[in-house]
C-alpha cells in the first residue's frame, strides 16, 4: 500500500484576486516540487471527487450548506467574483473547488478506512479550518477536516478520532464544530495573538489549545507538543487521526511570525504518525490548510509526505 495524494484541477479555479496569498499557484508550487524531487512517483495520485452535500451537513448547519450552494452557484452563473465576508471572495470556479476540497477529505477517509492506502494527503484549496458551523471565514467555505472527521464517526462507525492542527492561525471553525463532542479530541498550536484572535480559552474539554508567542522557534514548539499533545492523544487512543496541515508557521511565511523549518515539520509529522501507529492502525488523513511562501510551502509539504510515505 502507499500514501494517496488527492487533488484536482478544479481547485485552481478558485481565485480570490490578483496578489491574494491564498492563490492557485500554491498547488502548482507543490506539484512542481514533487515532480522535480522525484517524490511524485511514490504517491498514489487520485482525483478528488465532488462531495456529497449530505456529508457536509454532518459538520455544517443544513441551512448554511444550502445557502452557500445557492450563492456560489449564482457567482458561477454570473461569471463575476463576489465578496462573501471581509476575508473571503468567491470566484466563478469556487463552487467546484469547494466541492472537490471537501470531497477529497471524505474520499481519503474512506480509502484509508477501507485499507486501500495507509494514509492520505489532500492537496486541495480552498482551506477549511476557519469555516464555522454557520459561516464562511478566513478564506474558508466548508471545513474539510471537520466534515471528514464526522464522516468517519457518523457514516463509517469509528468511535474516537483526533484532529491535529498545526497551522499558524487558530482553527476556530473546527473548534466551533467539534467542541464538546466526546468522540473527537482536537489538539493544536497557533500563534497568539494573531488572526482570528481566538483559542485562548478552549470551548470544550476535548480541546487542547496551545497559544504560542510570536517568534517562537521549533525547539520550543517540539517541547510543547511532547508535554501537552502526546499525553492527551495517547490517553484518548484515537482510531484515526485527521491533520489540518498548515505550513504558514514556517519562518519564511509573512502571514505569521513563528520560526518553524522543514525539519520541524518532519519531526511533528513523525510524532503524529507514531501515535497513529500505536492506536489507529496508522490511519491518517491530512488536509492542506495555510502556507503562503511558495518555496517554503512546497518543501514543507514534501517533507510531510516523505514521513507519511515512509521514504
- pLDDT per residue as tens digits for the range 85-144: 999 999 999 999 999 999 999 999 999 999 999 999 999 999 999 999 999 999 999 999
H/E stretch holding 66 reads: helix 62-78
Question: What is the distance between the terminal CA atoms of the chain, rounded to a whole angstrom?
Answer: 13
Cα distances (Å, whole numbers) of residue 214 to 148, 191, 225, 266, 292: 31, 6, 17, 21, 17
In this model, does residue 1 exceed pLDDT 80? no
User: Are 188 and 164 spatial neighbours (Cβ–Cβ below 8 Å)?
Assistant: yes
pLDDT tens per residue, range 17-74: 999 999 999 999 999 999 999 999 999 999 999 999 999 999 999 999 999 999 999 9
Q: What is the pLDDT of residues 195-250, one digit of tens each?
A: 999 999 999 999 999 999 999 999 999 999 999 999 999 999 999 999 999 999 99
List the one residue out of 102, 118, 92 whose CA is nearest residue 16: 92
Give me the phi and psi of 213, to 5 degrees please: -70, 150
Catalytic residue among 129, 130, 151, 250: 130
Q: Reply yes or no: is the peptide bond before residue 166 cis, omega within 30 of 0.
A: no
What pTM was estimated for this model as a whole? 0.98
**Known catalytic residue at 151:** no
SS3 19: coil
Amino acid at each position: 500500500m502507499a500514501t494517496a495524494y488527492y487533488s484536482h484541477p478544479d481547485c485552481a479555479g478558485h481565485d480570490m484576486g490578483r496578489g491574494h496569498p491564498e492563490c492557485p499557484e500554491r498547488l502548482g508550487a507543490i506539484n512542481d516540487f514533487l515532480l522535480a524531487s522525484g517524490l511524485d512517483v511514490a504517491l498514489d495520485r487520485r482525483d478528488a471527487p465532488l462531495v456529497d452535500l449530505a456529508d457536509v451537513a454532518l459538520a455544517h448547519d443544513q441551512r448554511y450548506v444550502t445557502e452557500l450552494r445557492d450563492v456560489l452557484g449564482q457567482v458561477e452563473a454570473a461569471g463575476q467574483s463576489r465578496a462573501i465576508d471581509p476575508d473571503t471572495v468567491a470566484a466563478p470556479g469556487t463552487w467546484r473547488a469547494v466541492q472537490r476540497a471537501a470531497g477529497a477529505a471524505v474520499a481519503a477517509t474512506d480509502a484509508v478506512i477501507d485499507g486501500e492506502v495507509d494514509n492520505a494527503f489532500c492537496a486541495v484549496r480552498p482551506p477549511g479550518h476557519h469555516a464555522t458551523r454557520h459561516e464562511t471565514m478566513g478564506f474558508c467555505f466548508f471545513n474539510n477536516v471537520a466534515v471528514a472527521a464526522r464522516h468517519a464517526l457518523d457514516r463509517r462507525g469509528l468511535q474516537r478520532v483526533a484532529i491535529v492542527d498545526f497551522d499558524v492561525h487558530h482553527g476556530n471553525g473546527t473548534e466551533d464544530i467539534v467542541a464538546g463532542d466526546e468522540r473527537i479530541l482536537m489538539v493544536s498550536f497557533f500563534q497568539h495573538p494573531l488572526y482570528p484572535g481566538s483559542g485562548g480559552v478552549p470551548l470544550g474539554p476535548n480541546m487542547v489549545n496551545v497559544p504560542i508567542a510570536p517568534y517562537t522557534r521549533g525547539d520550543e514548539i517540539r517541547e510543547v507538543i511532547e508535554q501537552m499533545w502526546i499525553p492527551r492523544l495517547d490517553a484518548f487512543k484515537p482510531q484515526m487521526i485527521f491533520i489540518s496541515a498548515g505550513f504558514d508557521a514556517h519562518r519564511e511565511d509573512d502571514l505569521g511570525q513563528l520560526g518553524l523549518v522543514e525539519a520541524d515539520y518532519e519531526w511533528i509529522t513523525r510524532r503524529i504518525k507514531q501515535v497513529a501507529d500505536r492506536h489507529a492502525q496508522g490511519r491518517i488523513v491530512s488536509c492542506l490548510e495555510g502556507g503562503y511562501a511558495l518555496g517554503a510551502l512546497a518543501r514543507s509539504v514534501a517533507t510531510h509526505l516523505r514521513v507519511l510515505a515512509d521514504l
